[in-house]
Structure 1
Amino acid sequence: MNLNMQKKARRIQEGQPPRVLDIFSGCGGISLGFHAAGFRIDANVEIDPDAAASHAFNFHPGHPRSAHYAQARDITQTLPHELAEELGLLEDGLALEETIDVIVGGPPCQAYARVGRSKLREIQQHPEAFLHDQRANLFEMYLAYVAAFQPLALLMENVPDIMNQRGQNVAQIMAEALEDSGYTVGYTLLNAAFYGVPQMRERMFLVAYREELGQTVTFPPYTHHVDLPPGYEGSRQVALKSLRRHDLFGAEADHHYIQPPTPDPDLPPAVTAQDALQDLPVIRDHLEGKLKRGARRFEDAEPLPYRLSARQGTYAHQMRHWDGFGERGGIRDHAIRFLPRDYPIFARMQPGDQYPEAKQVAVRLFNEKLREAAQQGKDTSTGSVTWDLLLQATVPPYDDSKFPNKWRKMEPDMPARTLMAHLGKDGYSHIHYDSAQARTISVREAARLQSFPDGFVFKGTMNPAFKQIGNAVPPLLVRPIAQGMLNALQAGVAGYLAGIQREAQPA
């Protein structure tokens, strides 16, 4: 690897941006964080067609190979050299190992898959064999791409549960496999709310550098403070449960795990849902009967004007004026789900209410309608036609003992709870805090809560856009990690090249 590594190091030392390959990229949350930190997004692999189209549109607009960038790819069917050829990375006679400096990505977690240490170590010698192995899981695919491109650094992201996957710590297994391959590795758990994201989202991050660079893995200090609800701390403890604190001789066993920064109550308070959304246009069309059911494309819709100005330094200002992704004449994608039965329930719910409270509100509304119908002389006895019709039109059918967290009305003075991919199916997990609007959040509001700037475009209809956002990694959480990695790379290549020069000098 030495000659290719030297070429990469000299390129970075000359001031050129490190080149990133984002695998399992989604629409580009990690890519955007690295782009904002000064990296260049050269390639990605994504299996979902809408997400692949979004990534291409945002990071390669007008590129001669834009159709290739927008192509959805199954990583299990895409060899590294095939990807490099299709995207033109091998032009100018570059070898595959010269083309990419940093690999990033979050392999989807396959709950049924066990990851074996010996198998992961073998991948370094036979990466393409594993890419053709139908039994291989996506973590093995990630390592196969690392083996093929030989990056100077890499980042892997995943859910905290990856540290306790059926009793095994997959992050530690990956760290050991990478260390065997010549990388210095560390991983930790970080919550997005501590980095200015208006969302409490816990994620595992693993970072690695080629050991020749002489860099240790560190993670950025917090920029904000928030007291996380008990559920988040409980989830963290479950994730850490399989962490091997000490081996038989008292030494640290899972020594690649790095303790997260210590929360500091003197830091600025976390960005709240209201901070993130209050300048966006009010939506009331659904309460006036102007919203209809059906898939909605909104890419070419006329932009809506902002409701409020955004002061310099505020979160809203940051979302409107993100370098390269500033607002495009107003707000687009401000579309909501059609849920007419539930608008009255949303209006009466209190911030923080979940499904049991929503069900109680619905029952009260049902009883009010029954009394009105009885006053009109209708038969409202239990099981009557009127009773049945009003029940179906008013009360959600789910058992509140089985689905207590299915609904939640956001608190305006707190960051939002974790956005999930199933926003594309219902959106009840994020009901807008403003009772006068009585609705779930819009696509653009979900993007704001995930820290995507207003100029970032999501391809497809509303449901795929929600899914892309829910699956993404918050760019504002990634950016400080990427900035730290850029600093480490620049320092590392300087020391590495200086060492080579010293060795070349005659004794």
Structure 2
Amino acid sequence: MVIIDLFSGAGGLSEGFHKEGFKIVAQVEKDRWATETLKTRYLFHELKKNNDLELYFKYLTSKRSYKQIDDDREIIFKKYDYLKEKLDVEILNKKFGNPSNDKEATSSKEIISLIQNSLKYNNENSVSMIIGGPPCQAYSLVGRGRMGIDAEKDNRNFLFYYYLNIVKEFSPKMFVFENVPGILSAKKGKVFEEIQAQFDKIGYSILSGPNSGDLQNVLNFADYGIPQTRKRVLLFGFKKELDLQYPSYMNEKFDWGHALNAKHVLDDLPFLSPGEGTDGIVDYHNKKLTKFQDLMRRESPGVLNHQARRIQERDREIYRIAINKAKNGEKLSYPDLPTELKTHKNENVFKDKFKVHADNQIPHTVVAHISKDGHYNIHFDINQARSLTVREAARIQTFPDNFFFEGPRTAQFVQVGNAVPPLMSEIIAKTIKKNYL
């Protein structure tokens, strides 16, 4: 089954489809570092097919800096020179938009031409499925609250038109469109009505879920065995003549046999104090693993992207207070802090500024804001008293430990926070494979 992945991010959604044997001929992503992560992951999959993961691990151990990424990859290209061209053809660092008013944007016409070139390169002449979802900030309830009336003017509300153009051009049997729940309520439901109407014009039905009421179709990925309270919408589109039903993803959910609390997800990773750690490979600790931890470790030489932020001692003291409260099932409220630890006069604005992933609770939602600071993603271990590393956030998002995030740490956090959890992607891919192929 030939797939195009749009608005790919770091590749969380495509990861599950890779695992299930789908052929992804093109990935389109605007962010430079997310695109580099896509390339590195592509190299992983190709080297795995060639039974040469040792070369992938060698690349990781010999990396000098994200600033020298092209030179560092030569260790792979010297042995597999065809991979350089494959990366250039299949992974497209392009931003959808109108070049006449955005110099960084690329027209749909040009992106379509590049995808056609990739199809030809792969000896394919048709596309079976399109996956991906436009950036969701303008749809999200939080985003609309912050932006006020400007949200109505935000052209990100209409990025689905670019998705629509690709669907219209390549005429796949179906597509999966992942987004935040706010897409169903934006403009009092008018945005989703417009999406449905536009796809109807080109011959597609689009469903938000099995229920007739769209707002009843919000999924919590935690219900599917993902170790995170993460509410999202999976829109399912298909050619009208196929008359398909909405997929029953629950049939493929993960059953771990143990609680998916933060401790069972993270406690096998190396101890770090603030400022410690590295992007490179760190040895695992030997301990009895949960079923989830065991899966995350497979085919990984060690722990990657595991470097803790430096923090001020005052914040670390706040973290300790928050961790102690979390142990008792309580949340830290900013106004309750000792006066000497407070830095903001408007205490109510920052009331919920600090939040712990409690060891006995399922982790809360990891979002891209983790790139700004770690206050909302505090580790449960009071002896570490720090925020999550990229690897720990990636674990909560179900990225396997061998998945390396390229770029500076801020960019890595954004990639993780914006991603579709790969294990949820695997559930989607398995469901599609069993029911529609």
Q: Common fold, TM-score beyond 0.5? A: yes
* Conservation of the 8 A alpha-carbon contact between 2:180 and 2:233: yes
CA–CA distance in structure 1, aligned partners of residues 164 and 133 of structure 2: 12
CA contact (8 A) 1:194 1:222 kept: no
Deviation at 1:308, TM superposition (A): 3.8
Give the unaligned 5+ runs of structure 2: 45-82, 98-104, 141-154, 209-216
Contact 1:450–1:475 (8 Å) recurs in 2: yes
Question: 2:16, 2:297 → 1: CA distance?
Answer: 16
* 1:27 alignment partner AA: A
2:106 matched residue in structure 1? 78
**For 1:156-305, what aligned pairs fall within 5 Å after superposition?**
156-187=177-208, 188-221=217-250, 271-284=260-273, 286=274, 291=275, 298-299=278-279, 301=280, 303-305=281-283
Aligned partners of 1:204 and 1:135: how far apart in 2? 17
**Cα distance in 2, alignment partners of residues 348 and 35 from structure 1:** 43
The 1:204–1:269 alpha-carbon spacing in structure 2 relative to 1, beyond 3 Å, is farther
**2:134 corresponds to 1:107:** yes
Q: Distance in 2 between matches of 1:86 and 1:331?
A: 36
Corresponding residue of 2:158: 137
Shift in Å, 1:343: 1.3
Give the corresponding residue for 2:416. Answer: 469
Deviation digits for residues 268-318 of structure 1, max 9, x if unmatched? Answer: 66511111101101112x3xxxx38xxx9x55x2x222224454x711011
Q: Aligned partner of 2:15: which letter?
A: L
Aligned to 1:335: 307
**Match in the other structure for 2:357:** 410
Contact kept in structure 1, 2:25 and 2:119, CA below 8 Å: no
**How much has 1:36 moved relative to structure 2?**
2.3
Q: CA RMSD in A?
A: 3.0
Q: CA deviation at 1:403?
A: 2.1
The answer to whether the aligner puts 1:481 opposite 2:428 as a matched pair is yes
Q: Which stretches of structure 1, 4 residues or more, deviate above 6 A after TM superposition?
A: 92-95, 222-225
Give the 3-state SS of the residue equivalent to 2:207 in structure 1.
Answer: strand
Query: What is residue 294 of structure 2 aligned with on the other side?
Result: 317
Identity %: 31
Q: Radius of gyration: which is bigger? A: 1
**Is 331-340 or 62-71 further displaced after alignment?**
62-71
Partner of 2:56: none
In the TM superposition, residue 22 of structure 1 has moved relative to its aligned partner by 1.2
CA contact (8 A) 1:23 1:45 kept: yes
Q: CA separation of 1:27/1:224 partners in 2, compared to 1, >3 Å: closer, same or farther?
A: closer
| Offset at residue 418 of structure 1 (A) | 0.9
Q: Contact conserved, 1:224 with 1:267, CA < 8 A, in 2? A: no
Letter in 2 for 1:337: R
Q: Secondary structure at the match of 2:381?
A: coil
Please give the TM-score of this superposition, normalised by the length of structure 2: 0.75
**Which string of whole-angstrom CA distances, capped at 9 and with x for unpartnered residues, describes residues 183-242 of structure 1?**
3432132111111111100001111222344532223117779xxxxxxxxxxxxxxxxx
* Deviation for aligned residue 1:161: 0.9
Q: How many residues in Structure 1 have an aligned counterpart in Structure 2? A: 364
Residue 31 (structure 1) aligned with residue 4 (structure 2): no
The 1:431–1:92 alpha-carbon spacing in structure 2 relative to 1, beyond 3 Å, is closer
Shift of 1:362: 4.2
Distance 1:224 1:36, change over 3 A: closer
- SS of the residue corresponding to residue 391 of structure 2 reads helix
Structure 1 unmatched runs, 5+: 1-17, 114-133, 226-265, 367-393, 491-507
1:482 deviates by 1.8
Give the equivalent residue in structure 2 for 1:53. 36
Instruction: Determine if the alignment matches structure 1 residue 306 to structure 2 residue 334.
Output: no
